[in-house]
Amino acid sequence: MNTIENTGERIALVGFGEAAGAFLDGWGLGGSGRVTTYDIAIDDPAGAVALKDRAARAGVPCVPRITEALAGAGLVFSLVTADQALVAATAAAPHLAPGALWFDCNSCAPGTKRAAAAVIAGGGGRYVDVAVMAPVHPKRHLTPLLISGPAVEAGAAALRGLGMRPDIAGDTVGAASAIKMMRSVMVKGIEALTAECLLAARAAGVEQAVLASLQASDPGSDWAARAAYNLERMMVHGQRRAAEMREVAATLRELGLPDRMAAATAIWQDEIGQLHLDGGAPRLPERADRILAARRPG
């Protein structure tokens, strides 16, 4: 039995997107009455019905105000977009239960995390910097996590009680997120390079020759499959990834380094994400064609 079941500690999910749904499913606490969610999308009539339906199917209420979600919650997971992380912390801080653990799972610059930590501490909460180090599917609550901050030991114990597997990166806010930010330069940058290279190759009618050349240079990789996957990530999650890459760029500037690659990556991620395409068939030609068609004027 999970610790959460033993203690009856309430959980609030601030943001109910892919990550929140995956964690909830992994915990197996849907229908337990111990989890409440709030998502700003509930204020949008166009998205509220779908949001409430998804929450109902997951066995949790999606409440109309953040204060309702936070009432009595000892564990709070912030799972919004990177550009909304500080906004969410600021909105939540005055309403936190004393000593509540605030797990900031958003992909933000260390400076943003430190600002959010100060806000949460001012509201009587305990802040934990969480870096989600891989896609949440298929591992759900077992997705690798790095955590840091002064409340890291209490945070680790709470996460382990939910069956999660956090690794401690240090006792300072920003330590975990710095690792995630630097990793994203590579991971999201490769996605952007994939788009620029293979969309152009497809448009020129030479993608098979380009893929064959890449495969010959690195036979250990399945270039076509990886490229198809990278495009799907951008199609489905590009806007969220763009917000993260803007935080990465800010991190690089804080370090006194140029942010050229990170800034360009954010543009590519945002441009493809704004097309609002689903992944579709898992084949590179089809995905490339759909992106190219959607980008054409008219």
The fold of the 3-173 domain, in CATH, is Rossmann fold (3.40.50)
pLDDT of residue 298: 63
Is the distance from CB of 52 to CB of 41 less than 8 angstroms? no
Strand, helix or coil at 2? coil
pLDDT of residue 46: 86
Domain 177-295: homologous superfamily in CATH? N-(1-d-carboxylethyl)-l-norvaline Dehydrogenase; domain 2 (1.10.1040.10)
- In this structure, the strands spanning 101-104 and 73-78 are parallel
| pLDDT tens sequence across 251-267 | 999 999 999 999 999 99
The H or E element that residue 36 is part of is: strand 35-38
Number of C-alpha atoms within 13 angstroms, CB side, residue 53? 5
pTM for the full model? 0.88
pLDDT of residue 8: 64
pLDDT of residue 4: 44
Residues in the chain, pLDDT under 50: 1-6
Strand, helix or coil at 240? helix
Same fold, 3-173 and 177-295: no
| Packing angle, helices 207-217 and 175-204, rounded to 10 | 130
Return the percent helix, strand and coil in the chain, to nearest 5.
60, 10, 30
User: Nearest Cα to 179, choosing from 241, 251, 101?
Assistant: 251
Sequence ranges of the domains in the chain: 3-173, 177-295
